[in-house]
Every structure is written in structure tokens, then in C-alpha cells.
Structure 1
Amino acid sequence: MQPSFPSSAESPLSDPQALFRLIDRHGRGFFSLEELQLALAAEGILPDDQRIGRLMQESGETRIDATQWEELLQRHHIVQRALLKELVIPEFAAFRQSLEEIFEETKKNEKGKVADYIPQLARVDPDQFAVSVCTIDGQRFSLGDASTNFCLQSTCKPVNYCLAMDELGEEKVHSHVGREPSGRTFNELSLNNDGLPHNPLINAGAIMCLSLLKRELSPADRFDYVFDTWRRLCAGHAPAFNNAVYLSERQTADRNFALAYFMREKKAFPPDTDLIEALEFYFQCCSIESCTHHLALAAATLANAGINPLTDEEIFDDETVQHCMSLMLTCGMYDFSGEFAFRIGLPAKSGVSGALFLVVPNVMGISIWSPRLDKIGNSVRGVEFCERLIERYNFHLFDSLTRETAKINPRRRKYEGEFHRHIHLLYAASCGDLDEIKRLEAAGADLNLSDYDGRTALHLAVAENRPEVVAYLLSRQVDRTKQDRWGNTPLEEARRLEFAALVGLLARG
């Protein structure tokens, strides 16, 4: 069971000015919007985040004083939660640094080759590599060629399935498409024992799902509907469309045409389905373009039960997302799906453009793009990145069953574990972590608390020779006369250890 932390609504801020001092490091009585942006960016809340954009518009000032700060916190809880490290990945800078290491190690892998069944994919630079992360709280970062567009190809299939499920429901959709892994290649000419596609994440199943979608609309309006869904998934960033890829897909689609005619022969389609229209709709959806920066938002929406982390808009029903995650776990990586589920243990979907997105439920979405593919059709670097991620972090769905593990739980706050809030404070004081002390103070920690030896944060800061922390605690009027179990005050401790600078600080006033 993972630890949970109270939201800002559950844990009211007892001292907003402590957070103010966290940003106003120079004690000027104000800080600039740029300083606030930098503080938030360190926690993964980027300047282009719509929630922060609204904050900047409302402030109307280039700098913020203490009074404005309290008003701002009341309107924008994300700021408070980020600065208090109450977001799902509290130590975001460390997490980013760790993933940068994984990225650089994975980048060395130059195995595989790009898809070449159409010239547009064959011409892609094979060395391009990008990774983007978005958590369910909207914490984000990107590495590599994250702004370069690529065709979604099969990574569009989970979204098409969710749209069909939200419109028609489970019973109707799965009367036309199964939900079992096929155990065969993604475009093999085969159906299940009921004459239906095995699942929605192979070609036949994806064609079927799109044939069910918005049948009352014209072809142009049906495509606009899907295209607009991608825009909403990407927090208002419109995707692109690669017409050349669409034309090439249509020109080389003999197998997909064969699958469609096979399904029509088996009466798998709804009555009056226009076969050519359904196929062209499928080719169009595969030819939508995005980048890892935006695809991570779509993955995070699935991780967040269908709600976009940046816009707070419900894109898909939560039960629909649950069904989609089940299928992605068992069927999302072509005929490598079972091995991927065994080794990685997370829902994922790949495409022949080299795209791959991974969902860590209730935590984050990760988007990866590297065009070199293995013999199955999955991104070589994409799979390796996932393997390295799972080696380091306890994201596998069944990691909670492991009694002893060296894997990191990035959901934990700094010093989280056996320590409670006041122990966090004492430990932070001994480590000289002034920022953590300010956060704990803002969350209501008593700076005068002592441990079982009667040693306060001031005692420990003195013992470890942390002058910056000592100066801050004294400025907060902590009790400097408290004695530990041996009868020593912080001043006496400083004298015993011959820390002259600290003696001077403590002896004043």
C-alpha cells in the first residue's frame, strides 16, 4: 500500500508566510513572478501550465508581496501543494535527474531499424530519441527531441477504443470485438472463434472500433471528432495531420483491406457499414501527428482515470479507462505483450513510428519516441527505457507484493518513512536543509519540538554546525533556553564543540 499525503483541502496552510519566505530568500518582503515560476518549475509545474497562466494573468503585477501572496494561495491551491511537496512525486528534481541518467544510458542502444513499408517512415532520422513525463498532478519534463512530431500509428488505438466505449458501452462494443490477446502478429489475417477481431489494439480490432464510432456523422465530422479529442487530451494543443503518410498507408493497405473484407464475410461489422469509409477513417487516425511532450499528457489522462491533469476536464469515463488499461496491459505491445506485462507490469501501447506510451496508474504517463524497431515492431529504445525504469522504481503493478526490494518509491516525501512530521523537522535541521524546514513550518510543524533526548531542531543544527539553519530558527524566535537531557542549551552545545560563529549567533540578544 502506497503512502498518501493530505491535499491542500485536507491540510490547511497554518503559516502562508513561511512559504513566502521559502521564495523570498533575500528577505526583501517581495519576490518576482519569475522567482515564483522558477520555484514551481523545480517541482515540475512549468510556465506553460494553464493553471499557472491564469495565476500570472490574475496577479497583474511583476512582483508579489506578503499580502498578495496569501490571496494568491487561496485561489491557486496547486501553488501551495507544489511548494509543500504534496504532489504525487514530491522530490521531482531528483526523479528527473534519475530519468535523465536512464535516458542517457538507453540512448547508447543503436539496435533495430526504422519501419520501411512506406517511404515517409523509412526517411525518419533513426537517431532521434525523446522521453516526456506528466504526472497526475501535472508535473512535467521532457528529454531529447520532445517537440518533434511523429505519426501516432497504433498508439491511437487505445483512444479510439475509449471513444467507442464512452459512446456505445461495453456490451455493444464487445459484441463486435473481443478482448483477448491474439498471440499473433498485429496484422495477421485471423479472427477469434466468434468471427470477431481478437481485441481493439490490433489492426482488425481498431478498424472495427472506428466503424462503430459516430456513425450518424459525415466522414469529415467523424475525423474532426477524433482530432478534437486528441486536442483535449493534449490540453488544447492541436495535433497535426500527415497527409503523405495517409496516402501511403492507403496505397499499401492490402492486408488491412483483406482484414476488413474477412470481417465483413463473417458479419462482424454493424449492418450498413461502408467498408472503404471505415478503412480510410482508420488510415486517417493513424496519420495524426503529435510529439512526446503532448502524448505524455494523453498518457497522464489515462493514469488519472480519464481526467486531464492540466485542464481538469473529464475526457473519458473512469470505467472506460479501467477497461482500456486492462487491454493495454495484455494486448498493447503486439505479440510481445505477455513478455512486457511479465517484465514491466504496466499498461502500454506502441506503434511502428517508434512511439510508445506507458501508464503508471494514479501516478503518471510516460511517452517515448525512438524510430528504431525490433523484429516485433516495438521501439528498441522504448522497451529498454521501460526496463531500466522498472529496475529502479517500484512501478510494476505487483511490486507491492515484494517484501524486500532496493527499488525506489518516488511517491515518498523527503525523509518519509518511520519519521513523523516533527522527526522530519529535526532531521532536516541536522542535515542543514533549510528549504525543508520552511516547508514543514508552513505545514504546521512546531519549530520548538524536541526528540526523546530533549534536543530541539536548534540543538541539532548547532551540533552539526549548520549556521544558516541556526540563524533562521533564531529569526523565528525559537526557544534558545531549552535544555536537553544532559542539561545543555544550544549555546552550551556550541561552546562545547568550539563553534565560535554559532556561539556568537546564540549569544546575541
Structure 2
Amino acid sequence: MFEDVRQHRGGEVASYIPQLARADADGFAVAVCTIDGQRFSIGDTTTRYCVQSTCKPINYAIALDQLGIDTVHRHVGREPSGHSFNEITLNAKGLPHNPMINAGAIMCASLIAPDLSAADRFDTVLQTWERLAGQGSVGFDNAVFLSERDTADRNFALAYFMRENGAFPVGTDLKATLDLYFQCCSITVDAPGMATIAATFANGGVCPLSNERVFTADTTKNCLSLMASCGLYDFSGEFAFTVGLPAKSGVSGALFITIPGVCGVAIWSPRLDVLGNSVRGVEFAGRLAKTFSFDGLPETGDQIDPRHRSIEAAIDQATYFCAAAAKGDLTELRRLVARSIDVNLADYDGRTALHLAASEGHADVLRYLLPLGAAADSTDRWGNTPLDDAIRNGDEESIARLQPKMSEVGEHQKGEVSAHGSIEALAFLPTNKAA
């Protein structure tokens, strides 16, 4: 797909900011990071580019985490604007339409740590980017910042228009707010770093490389919702219809796509279409959506489910899952469950995660797995159930959790015997071998 899309030479590099006009028009990079930290990249993957409008979801998320959804949306709306991203227009309440257009992004910048110094406010943002990326791929381009500020008449006009309408919090310093906004647009990142940031959003706000929670799950969900409806300027509706994935673009040629529960994808190619989106980025996103199925529905046509696991991979999953249960590692178990693992996978001896947890006295693992459909009546190759292992181990809490489940199984099977009028089915009832 990368090589096919590379042939597209349409579009022009952004020229309204002099520094952006100097970008390599043929630069092209694609990177992927999965929610469990697998990474792939191709093309100009060491080239750092300015994030431009891809900073808008991050600033919105920072403001949400700091102030909460009610406070933030007293100052910015959450509907598509129906206008250009830098249009001088507000909604019926006199607020910017959403955080993904310039007016809304300036508003979100005003809400980030307003009581701190200018340097500390920007440090707050930059450190958040570093935590999202999970590695040292984040920087800052001062030349772009100065260039942004020197060509910002429209953004100054937007800020004064919002102040005239009383949209800002009381006491907002417009110059400091605009400087912070221009600084955020001038942050630099490479494609692998941006893919990790997208994957952090895909992972509910937890960075896959560091396992650090950067944003709350609610903040992440709200941010992705607005990316899905407003993330690609005037092309947002068409992109939602044809691609159907939360994304955000920037006039530097940046585009990042979040596939919730799966991965993040970053594309960089400076040639832009008339709406300000990367020509190659939009083309690659379209091919991605046509090639792969991410929604868990049955595959259609030639679509591929990239989460499909071979038999060998399923065996590895069983090994990891059972090992985590034996160690009582709930974090790893939750990670694997989030990847839609079968909680009844068994190792080469037929022992499931319930067997291992019961053998090692991890009742908290039983408490987690049983409501997920883990079978209490599963037997290993010696015919033992998890309850047998718990009794052998002498763990009273595990026994207490497993016995009611076994009773339910027994009653269900007895019911089947009664319904079929056959006593032979009783031969298949599990027995307490330890007893």
C-alpha cells in the first residue's frame, strides 16, 4: 500500500507559513503501533515534522483531564462547524464550534494551566506529548513558532472575536494564549512517535510502550468522538463515511488515525489537497479501511482481520494467559482479555487459566475470570477440574468461589438428564477426584 500511494504526486505543500513551504514535497512516512507495543514503520521515518493541527486533540484532552468536561464545554462546543477550519464564526451560544478548528483550539489553549507561567504552561503540554509518545521522538521548532506568530492575523482576529463575545474565561491573557497555541503547533515528532501517540488513544489513554496512563478513559473516549466527527476540516464527514475511524490532520502533511482497541497509524506527506489534508494521507487511510476489517464483524470481500491469530499464535496466547494466571498478574490478564482472547484457552496439558490460578491460590484471578465465562467444569488431561486443584492446594477462598459454579454446572446437567429421560448422562457429571 505504501509503495502504491507513494506514486501519488497531487497537491501542494502549505505555503502560508514560510517554514512549512520548505518541507520536502515528496517526503512520505507511515508508521503503526499496536496497543500491545508492536511497531512497524516505512519511508522517511526519522524525519521530524511539525504537528500543526494534530496538536488540537492533545490540547483538548489536557484541558478535559485538568478541568472536566462541564467546565471545558462552557467555553467550546462539540458539533461540526460546517465552515472552514479558520472561519471567523461562532455557534449560537457565541462559542467556537468544537476543539478541532482553530477557534476551539485557541480556546482549549486558554484553559491549560492558566495560573502557571508561560514556560511552565508549555512544559505541561510538551511533557504530555513525551508521555504519549513513550520515547524521545518529540521536539520543538522555534523557527516555525516565530513564523506562525508573524503570519497569524486570522488567529488574532479569531481570538479578539471570541473575547468580544465573552467566550473566554475571565482574565484570559490573549497574547499568552495565542503564544501557547503557536508553540503547540510547532512541536515536532517523527512518524513512529506519532503512531505511538495514536496507539495511546487506541489503548484508552495508556501508552503501549511505557504502560503509563496519560489520559483517563473518559477523556480519551470524548476526544476520539470529536476526532471522528471533526478531525479533517471540511472533509470530516466524507472521511467518517468512507474510512470510519477517528483521525486528525495537520497542514504540515501530518495525519494520525486511531483504531480503538487495535492500533494507531501515523502518516506524513506534505502535499495537501484544497482542504488542507495530506493527499497521500487520505489515500492511504482509504486503502487501509478497504483492506482491513477492524470492527469485529465478519470479513467481507477481500478484507482482512489483522487481529486473526494462527494456531501457533493461539498456543502462544494460551501459554501467556495461563502463565499470567499462575502468577496472579491481573494487569496482563486484562490486557489479553482486551485483545479478545478466549478465556478458556488451555495449555498442552489441557489446563486452563482457572486451573493455574486455583493451583497457586489466586482467588482474585478466579473472581475476575469467572464472570467472563471461564468454565469451572473444564478438565485437564488427568480429568481434574479447577475445583480439584483448589482443594488439593487447600485454598479456602478459591474453593468458595469454585464450588457454587460447579453446583450450577451439576444442576444444569441434571436438568438435561431429566429432560432426556436418561440416567446415562449422569456418567458425564464431573466428580470430586481429590475428595
Q: Are the equivalent residues in 1 in contact too, given 2:137–2:190 (CA < 8 A)?
A: no
Residue 205 and residue 338 in structure 1: after superposition, are their counterparts in 2 closer, same or farther (change >3 A)?
same
Q: What does 1:406-421 correspond to in 2, within 5 Å?
A: 406-414=302-310
Q: Which one-letter code corresponds to 1:242 in the other structure?
A: D
Question: For residues 403 and 231 of structure 1, what CA distance do their matches in structure 2 show?
Answer: 37
Q: Are the equivalent residues in 1 in contact too, given 2:86–2:103 (CA < 8 A)?
A: yes
Q: What does 1:109-124 correspond to in 2, within 5 Å?
A: 109-124=8-23
What whole-Å deviation, never above 9, does each CA across 1:353-373 have from its counterpart, x for those lacking one? 000000000000000000000
What whole-Å deviation, never above 9, does each CA across 1:180-233 have from its counterpart, x for those lacking one? 001111000100010000000100000000101101100110001101111111
Question: For residues 216 and 290 of structure 2, what CA distance do their matches in structure 1 show?
Answer: 32
Deviation at 1:443, TM superposition (A): 6.5
- Which of residues 135, 141, 163 in structure 2 aligns to 1:242? 141
Q: Which one-letter code corresponds to 2:168 in the other structure?
A: F
Question: Which residue pairs with 1:459 in the alignment?
Answer: none
Q: What does 1:350-365 correspond to in 2, within 5 Å?
A: 350-365=249-264
**TM-score normalised by L of structure 1:** 0.61
Question: Which residue pairs with 2:368 in the alignment?
Answer: none
**TM-score normalised by L of structure 2:** 0.72
Question: Which residue pairs with 1:220 in the alignment?
Answer: 119
**What is the number of residues matched between the two proteins?**
322
Paired residue secondary structure (1:394): coil
Q: Is the counterpart of residue 445 in structure 1 residue 341 in structure 2?
A: no
Q: Which one-letter code corresponds to 2:304 in the other structure?
A: I
Q: What does 1:346-425 correspond to in 2, within 5 Å?
A: 346-395=245-294, 400=297, 404-414=300-310
Q: Which one-letter code corresponds to 2:50 in the other structure?
A: C
Question: Which residue pairs with 1:332 in the alignment?
Answer: 231
Q: Are the equivalent residues in 2 in contact too, given 1:300–1:308 (CA < 8 A)?
A: yes
Q: Are the equivalent residues in 1 in contact too, given 2:137–2:193 (CA < 8 A)?
A: no
Q: What does 1:62-461 correspond to in 2, within 5 Å?
A: 102-237=1-136, 239-395=138-294, 400=297, 404-414=300-310, 444-445=347-348
What whole-Å deviation, never above 9, does each CA across 1:419-477 have from its counterpart, x for those lacking one? x97xxxxxxxxxxxxxxxxxxxx972369xxxxxxxxxxxxxxxxxxxxxxxxxxxxxx
Question: For residues 156 and 343 of structure 1, what CA distance do their matches in structure 2 show?
Answer: 24
Unpaired segments of 5 or more residues in structure 1?
Answer: 1-101, 422-441, 448-509
Paired residue secondary structure (1:368): strand
Q: Which one-letter code corresponds to 2:176 in the other structure?
A: E
Deviation at 1:238, TM superposition (A): 5.4
Q: Are the equivalent residues in 1 in contact too, given 2:293–2:299 (CA < 8 A)?
A: no
Question: For residues 258 and 211 of structure 1, what CA distance do their matches in structure 2 show?
Answer: 15
Question: For residues 138 and 187 of structure 1, what CA distance do their matches in structure 2 show?
Answer: 36
Paired residue secondary structure (2:188): strand
Paired residue secondary structure (2:293): coil
Q: Are the equivalent residues in 2 in contact too, given 1:306–1:314 (CA < 8 A)?
A: yes
Q: Which one-letter code corresponds to 2:309 in the other structure?
A: R
RMSD: 2.0
Paired residue secondary structure (2:218): helix
Question: For residues 154 and 109 of structure 1, what CA distance do their matches in structure 2 show?
Answer: 23
Paired residue secondary structure (2:264): strand
Q: Are the equivalent residues in 1 in contact too, given 2:63–2:108 (CA < 8 A)?
A: yes
Deviation at 1:235, TM superposition (A): 1.0
Question: For residues 246 and 443 of structure 1, what CA distance do their matches in structure 2 show?
Answer: 56
Deviation at 1:415, TM superposition (A): 5.2
Question: For residues 70 and 137 of structure 2, what CA distance do their matches in structure 1 show?
Answer: 32
Question: For residues 261 and 166 of structure 2, what CA distance do their matches in structure 1 show?
Answer: 39
Residue 406 and residue 284 in structure 1: after superposition, are their counterparts in 2 closer, same or farther (change >3 A)?
same
Q: Which one-letter code corresponds to 1:233 in the other structure?
A: L
Q: Which one-letter code corresponds to 1:303 in the other structure?
A: A
Question: For residues 64 and 220 of structure 2, what CA distance do their matches in structure 1 show?
Answer: 9
Paired residue secondary structure (1:257): helix
What whole-Å deviation, never above 9, does each CA across 1:7-37 have from its counterpart, x for those lacking one? xxxxxxxxxxxxxxxxxxxxxxxxxxxxxxx
What whole-Å deviation, never above 9, does each CA across 1:134-158 have from its counterpart, x for those lacking one? 0000000110001100000000110
- Higher deviation after alignment, 230-239 or 250-259: 230-239
Deviation at 1:237, TM superposition (A): 1.3
Question: For residues 403 and 276 of structure 1, what CA distance do their matches in structure 2 show?
Answer: 52
Paired residue secondary structure (2:267): strand
Q: Which one-letter code corresponds to 2:65 in the other structure?
A: D
Residue 263 and residue 393 in structure 1: after superposition, are their counterparts in 2 closer, same or farther (change >3 A)?
same
Question: Which residue pairs with 1:455 in the alignment?
Answer: none
Q: Are the equivalent residues in 1 in contact too, given 2:299–2:305 (CA < 8 A)?
A: no
Question: For residues 118 and 332 of structure 1, what CA distance do their matches in structure 2 show?
Answer: 21
Q: Which one-letter code corresponds to 2:104 in the other structure?
A: G
Paired residue secondary structure (1:137): coil
What whole-Å deviation, never above 9, does each CA across 1:72-94 have from its counterpart, x for those lacking one? xxxxxxxxxxxxxxxxxxxxxxx
Q: Are the equivalent residues in 2 in contact too, given 1:230–1:238 (CA < 8 A)?
A: no
Q: Are the equivalent residues in 1 in contact too, given 2:135–2:193 (CA < 8 A)?
A: no
Q: Are the equivalent residues in 2 in contact too, given 1:344–1:387 (CA < 8 A)?
A: yes
